[in-house]
Amino acid sequence: MSMSKDESRRRYSDEPAATAAIIDVLTRHFDLWQQVDAVGPVGDEFKIDIVARCRETGWFFGVEVKRSHIFPN
C-alpha cells in the first residue's frame, strides 16, 4: 500500500474535522463562507469548501479541504 493511502498517517479522521481546524485558524483574520456555489470559466458548476475574505485587504481566496497526511522526514 502506498504511503498516500495509509490511513494511520491521516492528520484528520474526516473532512469535517479538517474543515473545523482550518476555520479555527482563519476566523481570526478572515470572514468565511462555506459550501459556496461557483461557476467555472467554461460553465461547469461546483462548490468551494471555504471562501475567505481578508478583513484587512478585502482579498478573497477559496479553500478545497482534504484530509491531510503527516509524513516522516
For the stretch 14-63, pLDDT in tens is 888 888 988 999 999 999 999 999 999 999 999 999 999 999 999 999 99
The pLDDT value given to residue 51: 97
Task: Say how many Å lie between the first and final Cα of the chain, rounded.
Answer: 19
Number of domains forming the structure of the chain: 1
41: number of Cβ within 10 Å:
5
Would 57 be classed as within a structural domain? yes
The pLDDT value given to residue 62: 94
Would 1 be classed as within a structural domain? no
Task: Say whether 17 sits in a helix, a strand or coil.
Answer: helix
Confidence band for 73, pLDDT divided at 50, 70 and 90: very low
The pLDDT value given to residue 3: 54
Give me the domain span that covers residue 21. 9-63
What DSSP state is assigned to residue 27?
Answer: T
